[in-house]
Amino acid sequence: MAGVTFDKVTKRFDSGLPAVNDFNLVVPDREFLVLVGPSGSGKSTALRLLAGLEEITEGRIFIGDRLVNNISPKDRDIAMVFQSYALYPHMTVYDNMAFGLTLRKVPKEEIRKRVGEAARILGIEGLLKRKPRALSGGQRQRVALGRAIVRDPAVFLFDEPLSNLDAKLRVQTRAEISKLHLRLGTTFIYVTHDQVEAMTMATRIVVMNQGTIQQIGIPQELYDRPRNLFVAGFIGSPAMNFFDGTVVREEGALAIETDGIRLPVAGEKEKQLSSYLGKKVTLGIRPENIHAADFTPMGIRGSVVEAEVEVTESLGNEEILYLMRDGKQFLARVDPRTGARPGIKIRVVIDLERLHTFDPESGESIGLPAAEEKAEQEIQTASP
């Protein structure tokens, strides 16, 4: 059991460009932290730095109170589950799980006990004598998990462990890893490019892009209050719609004007936007905050807009509409009873309470503190 601290960690490869840049993060004990970002965002590199599989260029990493910069991977008290599972193909499942313990000279009886226990938790008792090639993808994934569990490490590391599973198994395993986290009560650090995995499993999410932390927060916070355009566009599926707009004054109140539509803003948002009067802003609206006019939920304060339907995607419980207005495409997630067909015009309602506004130059959300400041604060409060 231990927390993890990254203190101003930077990793530069031979090319000179930093893969991870000034990375500050405090992971408390027992947290399920998910690092999420597109490929090349540095999330895997951050994990590999923690595992000791890459050398740190600058900065310090602590596991618990222990500085691990110069400690070899095997002595860091961590276990890692690889995307490829990395099972030893010539060993049986039992030997795969026992390998790490054998090398550490754990008594045979103890090994048998621990492997048996892990196999029971994962439901793979019947597979212990098989070789990896005789296992299905899901079973191999469990063996890889089991190999980490028997080690009883202070921190579990996961590098996209579900990417090679089919969709159904992925959902199932997701829930099982969450259960495992509750059961083991250990720190989990999990890397994925899949924001659904991040949202569903994490107690906290770190969104990364181009080697830097974009935002740290609990899943709902990232969804409701994305700190910048990148996080806003990355979290949520389908992605948020973005429009170029200008802040104008209309009948005494502020409004955002975009392509001939005026969306009045009120309350907190109005205060935040007051300094942007007459300036350009980027407006973000999530597809689920655009409703079909005839099926708008009660109590929504909205503006009605007319748009042409280009494509419809029916998912049964909802329908995704690709709408076009004045040459600008945007998506709406509407009630399946809407009955929209490609080519027709439809009236939609934009929920004015759920508008996101960003500074088009910096990309930062208007009215939220910048990401780095928040991370800085955290490291100061929790640094060992």
Partner 1 sequence: MAPPNPSATSEAAVKARPVGVQIGEAVRKFAGRLPLHVSVIGLAALWSIPTIALLVSSFRDPGLVVTSGWWNAVKDPFSFTLDNYETVLDQNGMARSFLNSLLITIPSTLLTILVAAFAAYAFAWMRFPLRNFLFLVMVGLLVVPLQMTLIPVLKLYVSLNDWFGFLGNDVPLLGGRWFGTNSYAGIWVAHTAYGLPFAVYLLRNFFGGLPRDLFESAYLDGASDFKVFRRIVLPLSMPAIAALAIFQFLWVWNDLLVALIFLGDPDRAPMTLTITNLVSSFGTSYQLLTAAAFVSMALPLVVFFALQRYFVQGILAGSVKG
Q: Verify binding: residue 108, partner 1, rule CB under 8 A.
A: no
Only one residue has tokens 């994490």, namely 202
Smallest gap from residue 32 Cβ to partner 1 (A): 20
The interface with partner 1 within residues 249-308 (CB under 8 A) comprises: none
* Residue 114 within binding range of partner 1, rule CB under 8 A: no
Q: Which one, of 119, 156, 171, 130, lies nearest residue 27 by Cα?
A: 156
Segment near partner 1 (CB under 8 A); pick from 82-90, 109-117, 309-317, 346-354: 82-90
Min CB(364)–partner 1 separation in Å: 38
Of residues 165 and 255, the one with the C-beta less far from partner 1: 165
What is the phi/psi pair of residue 308, to 5°? -95, 140
198 contacts 36 by C-beta, under 8 angstroms: yes
Among 106, 103, 146, CA closest to 123: 146
Chain-centroid distance, C-alpha 86: 24
Question: Which of 82, 223, 243, 276 is the binder for partner 1 (CB under 8 A)?
Answer: 82
Pairing of strands 212-217, 204-209: antiparallel
Among 8, 74, 262, 347, indicate the residue that binds partner 1 (CB under 8 A).
74
Is residue 204 a contact point for partner 1 (CB under 8 A)? no
Q: Give SS3 for 315.
A: coil
Based on the shown chain and the rule CB under 8 A, indicate whether residue 13 belongs to the binding site for partner 1.
no
Pairing of the two strands 261-264 and 253-258? antiparallel
Should residue 6 be labelled a site residue for partner 1 when binding is judged by CB under 8 A?
A: no
Q: Considering the rule CB under 8 A, would residue 2 count as an interface residue with partner 1? A: no
Applying CB under 8 A, which part among 127-135, 208-216, 239-247, 306-314 lies near partner 1? 127-135
3-state DSSP assignment of residue 310: strand
**36 near partner 1, rule: CB under 8 A:** no
Selected range binding partner 1 among 68-76, 176-184, 322-330, 373-381, rule: CB under 8 A: 68-76
Length of the chain: 384
Q: Is 134 in the site for partner 1 (CB under 8 A)?
A: yes
Q: How many CB atoms lie within 10 A of CB 124?
A: 20
Q: Could you tell me the two tokens for 198?
A: 């991040």
171 forms part of the interface with partner 1 (CB under 8 A) = no
Secondary element (H or E) of residue 220: helix 219-224
83 vs 246 by CB, closer to partner 1: 83
Please give the sequence-ordered ranges of beta strands (E in DSSP) within 131-240, or none if there are none: 155-159, 187-192, 204-209, 212-217
- Nearer CB in complex with partner 1: 82/243: 82
Footprint of partner 1 (CB under 8 A)? 51, 53, 72-74, 78-80, 82-90, 99-100, 103-104, 131-135, 137, 140-141, 147, 151, 163-165
